[in-house]
Amino acid sequence: MIESPESNNNSDDLFEHFKFVASDGQEPLRVDKFLMNFIENATRNKIQLAIKAGNVLVNENVVKSNYKVKSKDVVRVVLAHPPHENLLVPENIPLDIVYEDGEVIVVNKPAGMVVHPGHGNYSGTLVNGLIYHFKHLPKNSNERPGLVHRIDKDTSGLLVVAKTDFAMANLASQFFNRTTERVYWALVWGSLDEDEGTITGNIGRSLKNRLQMDVFPDGSHGKHAVTHYRVLERFSYVTLVECKLETGRTHQIRAHFKYLGHTLFNDERYGGHAVLKGTTYTKYKQFVDNCFKILPRQALHAKTLGFEHPTSGEKLFFNSELPEDFQTCLEKWRNYTVNQK
32 as an active site residue: the answer is no
Establish if 85 belongs to a structural domain: no
**For residue 190, with 0-12 CB atoms within 10 Å meaning exposed, 13-18 middle and 19 or more buried, which class applies?**
middle
Q: Are residues 112 and 234 in the same domain?
A: no
Domain count for the chain: 3
Q: What is the pLDDT of residue 8?
A: 36
Cβ–Cβ under 8 Å, residues 82 and 76 = no
Residue segments in the chain with a per-residue pLDDT below the cut of 50: 1-12, 84-85
pLDDT of 84: 47
Are 160 and 225 within one domain? no
Q: Supply the pLDDT for residue 40.
A: 66
Listed residue (113, 63, 122) closest to 88, CA to CA: 122
Please tell me whether residues 163 and 190 are part of one structural domain. Answer: no
User: What CATH number should be reported for the domain holding residue 43?
Assistant: 3.10.290.10
User: H or E stretch including 33?
Assistant: helix 31-38
Q: What is the CATH number of the domain that holds 147?
A: 3.30.2350.10
Let me know if residue 89 belongs to a domain. Answer: no
Expressed as residue numbers, the domain containing 303 is 181-340
- 58 with 160, same domain: the answer is no
Looking at the structure, do residues 143 and 255 belong to the same domain, yes or no? no
For 227, counting Cβ atoms within 10 Å of its Cβ (0-12 exposed, 13-18 middle, 19+ buried), the class is buried
Candidates 152, 154, 267, 325; catalytic one? 152
86 assigned to some structural domain: no
pLDDT recorded at residue 13: 60
Give residue 86's pLDDT.
53
Q: How long, in residues, is the chain?
A: 341
What are the residues facing 226 on neighbouring strands?
200
